[in-house]
Amino acid sequence: MKQDSDLRNNLKSIRTRLGMSQQDLANIANVTRQTISGVESGQYAPSVAITLRLAKALGCQVEDLFWLERDLPEIEAVLAKPVPNGQQLRVSMARVGGQWIAYPLIGKDAFRQDMIPADGEGKTCTGTNKIRVRLLDDNLDTLHNTVVIAGCAPVISLWARATERWHPQLRVQYNFANSMAALHSLCRGEAHIAGMHLYDPETGEYNTPFVRDVLAGREAVLITLGVWEEGLLLKSGNPMGIRTVSDLVAGGATIVNREIGSGSRMLLEQTLQKEQIPFDAVQGFDNILKSHQDVAQAVVRGVADAGMSTASVATAFGLGFIPLHRSRYDLVIFKEYLEEAPVQQLLSTLGHRMVHSQFEILGGYDISKIGEVVATV
């Protein structure tokens, strides 16, 4: 049969996953190897009989193997961040607060360690933050069962993966953002949960004053994820003998800093102010990196002598660590989101031993109060 330009198939991916060659599949389905090659390349649209034989040979449904391109749904979504007009985008999708949100998979946002699969594609339009997304799969259940967390704690990804093992139908999307950026992302309706670790020295409170100020009257709860040690990452063995932030200046050490809005930068600034050390007296204060991992890698590579991060990150990278402060990391959630089943499933795993074990072996975390509601605003 001649080629059908709308017909798409998963034949090659399913075949290779089962360890079959084209000839193996051809023998089982009683067709020629050229038929298998033609179907996989899209040059040949198989008959009903051949379609049924292929599905039976691979142990799957016909719908798992073939679909029509025009049958894939399109939905309108709001872009989570601005991108150049007219750009073709890969996006991941989630439904937050009753609307579809599209997260552009570009730059570092396209990767964890490997590249993140897209849920759809679309092209931006001039003068609007909306995008028409053509989904790459017609299974909307996955998108409806996606919980989006914005935050910067590396343990969020551990929690997410453990949760997905416990609830296979749930998907957790972790969008990296510093504390203030995560909070604003929650307010804009781009996330279900914001993670943050900000300390207010005037009140002695963690996170709540900042949440109260930014949310401006919207009702939310703060649930603690744990208390972590924050301080200075140093080269292994601490060759410069650094013990305090004053030693950074006295020894002429070079640091890397975090961006405005991050808890690590706020702690550094508060510590310098307490020691009455001007910011510009610290060499490298304006050298900005945007994640705990980037700070650690800069110290490992010798780009900097020190940087602010956590004890768990220091351990992961084999670095020295000088503790300066214990910070509470909280999850901020609008009260209306607490009623949604995917959010409930995610939060329910905070009491699970699988999650606790991941945190405990990482080190540097006190999870004795994990899952507790520590404030309502």
Mean pLDDT computed over 114-130 = 81
Confidence grade of residue 212 (pLDDT, cut at 50, 70, 90): very high
Mean pLDDT computed over 161-178 = 87
pLDDT at 334: 95
pLDDT at 193: 96
221-238 pLDDT, tens digit per residue, is 999 998 988 999 999 888
| pLDDT over 70 at 70, yes or no | no
Confidence grade of residue 2 (pLDDT, cut at 50, 70, 90): very low
Burial 260-277 (b: 16+ CB within 10 A, else e): ebbbbbbbbeebbeeeeb
* Burial of 296 (C-beta count, 10 Å sphere; 0-12/13-18/19+): buried
pLDDT at 209: 93
Which of 97-101, 183-187, 203-207 has the highest average model confidence (pLDDT)? Answer: 183-187
Q: Largest Cα–Cα distance of the chain, in whole Å?
A: 81
313-324 pLDDT, tens digit per residue, is 888 888 899 999
pLDDT at 1: 45
Confidence grade of residue 276 (pLDDT, cut at 50, 70, 90): very high
pLDDT at 74: 79
Spatial separation of the C-alpha atoms in residues 186 and 1, rounded to whole Å: 52
pLDDT at 137: 79
* Alpha-helix residue ranges (DSSP H) falling in the chain: 11-17, 22-29, 33-41, 48-58, 62-65, 140-144, 155-166, 179-187, 208-215, 245-250, 263-274, 292-300, 311-317, 341-348, 353-362
Q: Domains in the chain, start-ordered, CATH in brackets?
A: 7-70 (1.10.260.40), 72-143 (2.40.340), 145-377 (3.40.190.290)
C-alpha dihedral sign at 312, 315, 316, 321: positive
Query: Taking the CB of residue 339, how many other CB atoms lie within 10 A of it?
Result: 8
For residue 181, what are the CA distances in angstroms to 153, 186, 191, 201, 217? 13, 9, 11, 20, 19
Mean pLDDT computed over 179-199 = 93
